[in-house]
Structure formats: structure tokens, C-alpha cells
Amino acid sequence: MDPTASAGFNVQQIREDFPLLSREVRPGVPLAYLDSAATSQKPTVVIDAMDRYYREMNANIHRGIHKLAEEATLAYENARERIADFIHAPSPEELIFTRNTTESINLVANSWGRAFLKAGDMILLSEMEHHSNLVPWQILATHLSLRLEFIPVTPQGLLDQDAFQDFLEQEPKLLALTHMSNVLGTINPLEDMLAKAKSAGAVTLVDGAQSVPHFPVDISTLQADFYAFSAHKMVGPTGIGILYGRRELLEEMPPFLGGGEMIKKVELRSFKSNDLPHKFEAGTPAIAEAIGFGAAVDYLSRISMAEVEKQERILTGYALERLSGIPNLHVLGPGIEEKGGVVSFYLDGIHAHDVAQILDSEGIAVRAGHHCAQPLHTKFNLPATSRASLYFYNTPEEIDRLVEGIYKAKSIFD
């Protein structure tokens, strides 16, 4: 019996929505795609929405008064509204379209950070951050002589809350944390942590690249000042992401990029910025991708994020159970109570890349390396890990194939 079967959810029917999931990597060897933390697969409705834009309404937005331009503008802005509803943002104007989570964080660092931070100010991060939430702050710290501090990660893969409290007493100006680790799978208790940071006077930023795709996120409840995520990890297209920003902060921040669309008036020696959100969307945006993003959140909403979370939790529990029986295999991160669908592991005596290559020969797609989190791997004294990342379209049979592939790797190297 399928351990993930539940009323109202048919994984085989869901999989029919995703053309690539039916692919064979070679004759007779079906694909088992276990790399959704890197990028998710795309349903037909998303592909069709983008195709429809190019076939039926391809025009630039906001600037034209002809029918195509008006239709394209309406589709683009409707997508923003649906994404705002998806995360329960107070208003669509507080959502900025960017290229991805990385650009969203860089926008905050280069606009808010350069305008409001000064030498000696502290930025508080954690040891489990993706490079996208480390390097922009390192660059800024070098330019402005800022102080970077890091909440330690415990051996269990959790953030050290006592150390966090100690850092808050030192009055950081910014707290920037991941909602869910892309290596450990740890889901951080952000509602409590952000509230404490706010009481300490810190502005807060959340890297939501691994959270918004996998469980319900309510911006109004979290009360984050900034929240960043990407479409391509949540069944949407590549090349587009979102920065949510609290209106008061976005109004105060200078533009990130200059050019067309982000202005109200331009003279030879001066300009006046446009209203939100256009103030931060210079030039022609990724129109088709925004429309595809809107179709992606519509698709996830029809399934319901509560159901997505439920299915992933069942799959993750099954994966942890199966992997626990493999000798000399070690899984990073906490138990199922505090873990999302990311299972990073290593085998004694076998390099992660060798494991991934053998799994690939069996049609099983996993990730191997440091997963853009080198400091975290250094913390655990590991050069690399193999990572199987799950999504609602995965099946227990694919996890069984993963286990069989790992045993094959062990037999080859043992």
C-alpha cells in the first residue's frame, strides 16, 4: 500500500501534470527526480501560460496603450496579486519581482543596507545559511566596516537559541535567516525568533527559497520586514523571484537599479523615483516568467499547501526510516518534527560525488557537493554530502530505488 496515499490526493494523477517526470533517462530506466531543492519540475499549466503569452499577447508592459500591451500588463500585474494572496502579503505593491532569491537579498543589501547601516553595526546571520544569504552581507561588511556574527548550529542541526538570545542583547541592526535549511532540512522557529529580534530593534530578512514551495507561509503572521523566494523551486519558471518588503522600508530605500520604468520624471541632472513596486523594477521585466509564476501559485493553491506539506512530511518520514537501515550511512539534520523534505547524507569511505554518479546510472537524480553552504559543511567537517530532496510529486517507490542505488554504491566501493 502507498504510505503517502490520502483522501483527495492522487500522486499518480499529479505526476501526469509534469511532462518531464515520465521521461526515461535511457531505455527501460525511468527518471526518479530527487533534486527539487535545486529546482522543481514544471506542470503543463505553467508551460502553457508562458507559451500563451508569447503566442497571444507578446508586448512590453506598462508603456503601451494598444490592446496587446494592455493584455500583457494585466496578466503581469494579476500574477503579482495572486502571489501576494498566496503568501498573505498586506498588498501587491509590497512585492518586487526580481530574478531570484539571490537578487532579492542583494537588493536589500545594496539598497537598504547601504542607506541605513554604518561602520560598527552588527548583522546577525547563522551558520546554516546558503551563500546567497552570506556573500552579499560579506561584501557589504567589507565596504561599510560592519560586524558579522553567526548563530551556531547544534550537532542536531538546530539553531542555538541561547546564543541567539546573547546576540540580541548586543543589539544587531539586521537579522537575516533561512526559513528552512537547504542542507539540513531544518525548519527554523522564525515566528518566535523574528518577534524577539524586532523587540531588540533589528530589521529582519528571511530567505524563503526552501520554505514557500513546501509549506504554508503567512507573511502577516511572521511579521518579517523582508522575505525572499524564487519561482523555480515552486513549480514555476527560472529567472524570476520575489522580494516582499514592508512598505515603510521600501518607501525609504533608494532604487536598486536605474533606467526605464523605475522613474516618474527624469531631467538631465536628476530624477524622481516611481511608486512601489515599479521603483525597484527597472527595465523590461521577465513578463512571461511572471505570468508563469502566477500559474504556478494557482496550481499549488488548487492542491493546497497544507496538502503539499502533509505529503512531503509522510515521504520524508519514509525516507528517514529506509535510510536509517543502511550501515555506515549518516543523515544530517534534525528528526521529522523539525525537518522538511531535504535529506542530506554521507557514507563512510565513499565520496558524495561517487554516490551521486552511481545513482545517476540508475536513473536517480540527486545533488552532490556543498549545496552552496560551504561553511555549514565545514562545521560538520564534511567536504560534501549527497542530497535527496523531495516534493509532493515524488513516490515511495522512488525512495526505494534510492535505497537500492545506495546499496549498489556500497557494493562497488566495499
Given 372, 375, 379, 382, the catalytic residue:
372
Residue 294, helix vs strand vs coil: helix
Sequence-separated (6 or more) residues with CB below 8 Å from residue 251? 276
Burial 114-151 (b: 16+ CB within 10 A, else e): eeebeeebbbbbbbbbbebbbbbbeebbeeeebeeebb
Sequence-separated (6 or more) residues with CB below 8 Å from residue 271? 258, 263, 265
Rounded Cα gap, residues 114 and 117, in angstroms: 6
372 is annotated as an active-site residue: yes
Residue 340, helix vs strand vs coil: coil
Long-range own/partner contacts, residues 1-4 (CB < 8 A, 24 or more apart): 2/395, 2/396, 3/314, 3/318, 3/396, 4/311, 4/314, 4/315, 4/318, 4/395, 4/396
Q: Which of 160, 223, 165 is nearest to 191 (CA)?
A: 223
Determine the distance from the C-alpha atom of residue 10 to the mean position of all C-alpha atoms in its chain, rounded to a whole number: 25
Tell me the catalytic residues: 372
